[in-house]
Amino acid sequence: MNVLTFLGCWLIAFSVPAADRTFQLQSPNQQLHITVEVGNQVRYRVSHNGIDLLQPSTLSMTLADGRTLGRNSTFRKQTLASANRTVTPPYGISQTIPEQFNELRLDFRENFAIIFRAYNEGVAYRFATNLRDSIRVQNEEVQYRLAGDWPAYFHPSEFLSSFESNYVYKPLSQQTQQSSLPILAEVPNGVRLAFLESDLLDYPGLYLKRDSTQTSTLMGLLPAYPKVVEQGGHSKFNMLVREREPYLAQTIGMRAFPWRVMAVAQTDKDLLNNQLVYLLASENKLGDVSWVKPGKVAWDWWSANNLTGVPFKAGFNTETYKYFIDFAARNGIEYVNLDEGWSDQFDLLKPANKLDMDEVVRYARQKNVGLILWCVWHTLDRQMQPALDQFAKWGIAGVKVDFMDRDDQVVVNFYERLLREAAKRKMLVNYHGAYKPTGLQRTFPNNINRESVKGLEWNKFNPQGITPEHDVTLPFIRMLAGSMDYTPGAMTNMNKENWRMIFEQPMSQGTRAHQLAMFVVYHAPLQMLADAPTAYEREPDVLKFLAAVPVTWDETVPLDSKVADYVTIARRKGDAWYVGSMTDWTARDLSLKLDFLGDGTYQIEVFRDGPNAERVGSDYVREVKTVRKGETVAIPMAAGGGWVARFTK
């Protein structure tokens, strides 16, 4: 049911003094409260159950012609609205999303508005302009004056960045680095605050940094419009900005700008199904998207194509990819990814010499397996029309686009341009070397997944690799923004002492069960099986489970979880439930109350850490038994361990 009404009973406007106005806005459950003061400046504050989260914080937008919207602006009118409706995404972590909010729109005589929304799950605001001509935005003032020097998880990142770093946990007063979003702060009373943005279109992305003059204040930073760029970076896959313009964006004058979002959760586990970023994004612009098919992907790059026990030399050749296609077809895996090496990186119309693309695409079509092609972003940008036309002629299902590593207006617009062109040819797009999700998956559902995470691949080339502690931090922070292409599924699993960085024969830190649990805990509508087909074929029970686990869900139930320590999530697809649990380097014994199950008897298939998993990470135990709703199941996890189960009636 969709309901949008205009109300006045829950919002009060009054003058203090006559030249100023103050407005109050509450969330539907009346726990979150926004106070907006309009005078020479526009300031707002946020409280939760009477406790301040944000002290009065200013906001404004400066245009290149000298106007500053929100400073010495003339208030004209207020518009009040409320919504209580159900959003039905084409895919996601739940079949439906309830959306309930109260909204305040403040219009000013200078032809702009500031819109505030209060949800039970958080608050947000955005600018909207109604200016006839195009405009240049010189600066946007984003300020969060937190009510205390609280500890927070930051994600250090520069404007030219892979958006793939470790989270840094420290008090606000000790944070000196610029951070990309999301950022998660911990309030002493247990409330969690996450800073995000949504509906980022035709505009640069937002970063936050502590204001050096105010201990507990975060200030917004945005990359200016690129003026001079040159090819460079890793293997010249990047376009590096050498000089920038004195403005952020040049854009149309009649538009809404990105939402500045603060998600609020009363417990850690409440972060695991907060979907504010999706709800605040623009609705689907593609029309019919029934052709968008989520699924699993057999991936070649992690394992370096190291097939074993095959009668041919594995590599970037026709025989290898036919084997991948056969593997996918036998196990109901929807896609095969052809990563770096299938073509000339700077000419997508030139496949590798040992790869007969016509034969590979014919074979994949015969086996009903979709192909996804990796591309350097600026090569695809330069060759977009001929390359996509050739891909469409081949019947390619999608593209994996890499090494953007920026989120200024030029790159943000590339994302949208590619999604529109790919949609014309019914192709999926998976962005790697990408900035954080901002709801684009709702606006363009063919944006099937996004990396923007320090994922499993870092075990190939980083001496510290990816730790289990990092793994159990991601669901609460990075995944709060949207789906995540971490690329799980390593079959060589090592403890902390024995792990090594080996590019051609990579391994994961932690246990086999830790990796398997990722397929439930990590939401990825395009989910990679990172390791080699022959590695999975040596473990038929594991392969059978991975072939069956869904990539989208009808319902998500967060369970006992703590940021950076452990996570447990239950997800339902049809009548089947899946539960995934992961821990850091601390062994844990958790318990699972089966209150989420329906009535009747369920068969439970469990993959858990074996008795020797702390020494040999690949040691696991598979168990099958029957359970009923209300029973309690033990979840024992070794250091770096995990536990995953499927419940079927």
For residue 230, give the CATH number of its domain. Answer: 2.70.98.10
Antiparallel, parallel or unpaired: β 398-402 and 428-431 = parallel
In a domain, residue 78? The reply is: yes
pLDDT score, position 189? 87
Separation between Cα atoms, residue 182 and residue 149, nearest integer Å: 18
Largest CA distance in the chain: 85
Decide if 460 contacts 299 (C-beta within 8 A). no
Phi/psi at 359 (5° precision): -70, -40
User: Of 261, 280, 299, which residue is a domain's last?
Assistant: 280
Please tell me the number of Cα atoms within 13 Å of 112 on its side-chain side: 23
DSSP per position, 563-620: TTTEEEEEEEETTEEEEEEEE-SS-EEEEEE-TTS-SSEEEEEEEEE-TTTTTSTT-E
What are the beta bridge partners of residue 106? 78, 114
In a domain, residue 222? The reply is: yes
User: Of 260, 280, 300, which residue is a domain's last?
Assistant: 280
- Tally of structural domains, the chain: 2
In a domain, residue 479? The reply is: yes
In a domain, residue 578? The reply is: yes
H helices of 286-356, in order, are: 318-330
What residues are annotated to the active site?
A: 402, 457
Separation between Cα atoms, residue 70 and residue 142, nearest integer Å: 12
Using alpha carbons only, give the angle 251, 256, 257 rounded to the nearest 5 degrees.
75
In a domain, residue 105? The reply is: yes
The three-state DSSP-derived secondary structure of 96-108 is CEEEEEEEEEEEE
In a domain, residue 435? The reply is: no
E strands, 213-318, where?
Answer: 217-221, 226-232, 238-244, 249-251, 254-256, 259-265, 295-299
Domain that holds residue 489: 453-649
In a domain, residue 249? The reply is: yes
In a domain, residue 51? The reply is: yes
**End-to-end alpha-carbon separation of the chain, Å?**
31
Query: Which residues, including other chains, have CB under 8 Å from residue 128's CB and lie 6 or more apart?
Result: 112, 113, 114, 115, 255, 256, 257
pLDDT score, position 261? 98
User: Of 280, 301, 325, which residue is a domain's last?
Assistant: 280
For residue 639, give the CATH number of its domain. Answer: 3.20.20.70
Decide if 139 contacts 170 (C-beta within 8 A). no
- Lookup result for tokens 């969690």: 192
> Would you call 499 helix, strand, or coil by DSSP?
coil
What are the per-10-residue average pLDDT scores of the chain (649 residues)? 40 43 98 98 98 98 97 97 98 98 98 98 98 97 98 96 96 96 95 98 98 94 98 97 98 98 98 98 98 98 97 96 98 98 97 96 98 98 98 98 98 98 98 98 98 98 97 98 98 97 98 99 98 98 98 98 98 98 98 96 98 98 98 98 98
> What is the model's pTM?
0.96
